[in-house]
Structure 1
Amino acid sequence: MQNEIIKLLKKEEKLSEETIAELSNIEISDFSDSVKELGKNETAYIKREEILKDLNTTYIGKDMYIFNEVMSTNTIAKFLSMNGVGNGAVVISEKQTKARGRSGKNWESPLGGVWLSIILNPNVTHSKIPLITLATGVAVENTLKRIGIQNAEIKWPNDILINDKKVCGILTEAITSFNTIESVIIGVGIDANITLKDFPEELKEKMTTLNKETGEKIDENLLIKTFLEEFEKISKQFMNEEYENILKEWRKHSYTIGKIVEVHEPFSKPYDGYVLGISRDGSLVVEKIDGTLEKVISGECVIKN
């Protein structure tokens, strides 16, 4: 985290070389005000006033930090959450140079997409974190529906697909202290107006964009505003422990249920199975070839042709 904060401040000429050389004697938290100040500056494409205009939320997005370029919005959000920025704050960047996904995968997030992270203080146990990811997927699906895309589906645990191709990814990270969750960072990346040439060669056949699916340029500011409204709706359900309502919506739009998949779990050999459904804790219920049932708590499912 420290390196990313230093690079951000150096790029924006908020740190001199002399100061950087002395950082070993300085707490990185001392620069939190500078990072907050940068996040309040005007940016070229993502416009704070357009997002906030008529924004129908009570707490999500009321505190907002927008950057021209960061390595990862999740890292900035984690840093800010550890330095006085509270529940519902949103970090947005027009570009990310080292975005993170599941299993530590990195990639660049170019102009034309929606790259944001939300800080939540949900006061829940670790076991509920997977449900936050599922709830965010429902929020994205509802957002796309509002802009005219009716066929988006949610792939367990953290992807949104259109016509079998990925258009959005979600990364949820918890900040803990002595086994207590202090805050949760929900990162969301939506491929809005990116062209296929912007994707790595190995991903081009697996990805799509909202622009490609609709045939129209997407208003990123309106997309962000719509998502923040939908996220607050689903987050209130989560806070009120209306988990079954969230799971019901997730099941309704699931891409994974009913599919033959190859399951990849940490520290285990991959195995094939048929996805029967999802349990109350957000785990995937899979029937293996030998007829036994498995609950997949974390990992990845590769859809078999």
Structure 2
Amino acid sequence: MKDTAINVLKILEENPGPVSGEHIAEHLGVTRSAVWKQIRELRRLGYKISSSRAQGYCLEATTSRLLPYEIHKRLRTRFIGKQIRYFDRTASTSWIGKQLASETDPEKLHGMVIIAEEQTGGVGRLGRAWVSPAGGIWITIVLKPRIPIDHLFMITMAGSIAIARAIRKEYGLSALIKWPNDIFVGDKKVGGLLLELAAEADAVHYGLLGIGIDANISLADLPPNLKDTVTSLEAEVGHEVDRVALLVRVLREFELRYQQLEDGEYDSIIREWKSLSLTLDQRVAIRTINKTFEGEAIDIDSHGALIIRRDNGKIERVIAGDCFQL
């Protein structure tokens, strides 16, 4: 959104009643034609603006889009989300993050949030397609971690906690974390995360934390294979949710936990993750590249591995794989 459009919008926001195009033009030092052009752009972006020859323009409703301007109005963070890149539609916010990190010093990108209203090539864990239609929250957070390499996996834990806490605080839903990186409401998935690291030897160049949340997604529009396992916040609460408010809450909650990681408060993160776990103390089936087995999920260790007590009493440590509740 261009500066002129933002300035027009600010004038409308500051005035509860109609404002003439002439007044706006004089205030901004532009022509009335330029004001009309920006009004059309604001309407295209989803702002509901009425107009009349006698009285002028009046802002009746804000947009539902995740525009940087709307996010920054509410965001109170130190570094997460201070920089935002916004796209109507893109293949993948992760791909954009990789491109930016290859062209710019990742230190300068630390905390940047890349947002897409829709992804056409979203990718989840193990390279699986991530359905990302309009109405969801599809973001990538660019990070230059100052966290010991053996604790970088906890960035995903911090993100999982942030999403679960945000959903609980905004909507009163009992969101829980399913190991390793899914967010559930009831017995259905509502969100997920993916951490990608660019590293060599002991040096981490940058990290990309991808987050996807099914906010205002119509379940009828989902592929048939997902309808029994996926839900949306809109479906759970019975009405559209304020995506800007939710995203702002997620970013605040994540920055809080990320700072805990930078301060070495690893035990606090692990305790909070356990308190929100859907997986622990449950009977599960585990499928890894090499084997499949069942047992009880009894713990996670200090490296994020899931600890399983198999039916024969043997203890298994699962670093990566699929986990299914039984």
Counterpart in 2 of 1:296?
318
- 1:102 maps onto 2:125 in alignment: yes
- 1:159 maps onto 2:182 in alignment: yes
The alpha carbon displacement at 1:72 in A equals: 1.0
Counterpart in 2 of 1:71?
91
Root mean square deviation of aligned Cα: 1.5
Counterpart in 1 of 2:302?
280
**Match runs of 1:34-113 below 5 Å:** 45-84=65-104, 85-113=108-136
- What SS class does the counterpart of residue 103 from structure 2 fall into? coil
- What SS class does the counterpart of residue 294 from structure 1 fall into? strand
* Separation of aligned partners in 2, 1:190 and 1:264: 25
Greater Cα shift, 109-118 or 212-221:
212-221
Letter in 2 for 1:78: K
Greater Cα shift, 76-85 or 241-250:
76-85
The question of whether the paired residues in 2 share the 8 Å contact of 1:50 and 1:222 is answered with no
* Separation of aligned partners in 2, 1:248 and 1:142: 14
The question of whether the paired residues in 2 share the 8 Å contact of 1:275 and 1:284 is answered with yes
The alpha carbon displacement at 1:43 in A equals: 5.8
The alpha carbon displacement at 1:243 in A equals: 0.9
The question of whether the paired residues in 2 share the 8 Å contact of 1:123 and 1:182 is answered with no
Greater Cα shift, 64-73 or 173-182:
173-182
- 1:187 maps onto 2:207 in alignment: no
Counterpart in 2 of 1:17?
none
The alpha carbon displacement at 1:120 in A equals: 1.1
The alpha carbon displacement at 1:178 in A equals: 4.0
The question of whether the paired residues in 2 share the 8 Å contact of 1:43 and 1:67 is answered with no
* Separation of aligned partners in 2, 1:128 and 1:43: 41
Counterpart in 2 of 1:236?
259
- What SS class does the counterpart of residue 122 from structure 2 fall into? strand
Counterpart in 1 of 2:60?
none
* Separation of aligned partners in 1, 2:201 and 2:272: 34
Measured against aligned partners, the alpha-carbon deviations of 1:44-83 in whole angstroms (never above 9, x if no partner) come to 6222111001311010000110001111111111221222
For the pair shown, which has the larger CA radius of gyration, 1 or 2? 2
The alpha carbon displacement at 1:159 in A equals: 0.4
Measured against aligned partners, the alpha-carbon deviations of 1:28-52 in whole angstroms (never above 9, x if no partner) come to xxxxxxxxxxxxxx96622211100
Letter in 2 for 1:55: L
Counterpart in 2 of 1:136?
159
Q: Give the counterpart of 1:270 among 277, 292, 296.
A: 292
* Separation of aligned partners in 2, 1:192 and 1:288: 37
The alpha carbon displacement at 1:224 in A equals: 1.2
* Separation of aligned partners in 2, 1:264 and 1:126: 26
* Separation of aligned partners in 2, 1:201 and 1:54: 37
The question of whether the paired residues in 2 share the 8 Å contact of 1:124 and 1:181 is answered with no
Counterpart in 1 of 2:244?
221
Greater Cα shift, 42-51 or 175-184:
42-51
The question of whether the paired residues in 1 share the 8 Å contact of 2:173 and 2:185 is answered with no
The alpha carbon displacement at 1:177 in A equals: 3.1
Letter in 2 for 1:146: K
Quickly say closer, same or farther: Cα 1:43–1:64, change in 2 above 3 A: farther
- Residue identity over aligned pairs, in percent, reads 35
The alpha carbon displacement at 1:130 in A equals: 2.2
The alpha carbon displacement at 1:264 in A equals: 1.6
Greater Cα shift, 146-155 or 163-172:
146-155
- 1:258 maps onto 2:278 in alignment: no
The alpha carbon displacement at 1:99 in A equals: 0.5
- What SS class does the counterpart of residue 251 from structure 1 fall into? helix
- 1:145 maps onto 2:168 in alignment: yes
Q: TM-score, normalised by structure 1?
A: 0.82
* Separation of aligned partners in 2, 1:43 and 1:234: 33
The number of residue pairs the alignment matches comes to 262
The alpha carbon displacement at 1:98 in A equals: 0.9
- What SS class does the counterpart of residue 173 from structure 1 fall into? strand
Q: Give the counterpart of 1:118 among 121, 129, 141.
A: 141
- 1:127 maps onto 2:147 in alignment: no
Runs of at least 4 residues off by over 4 Å = none
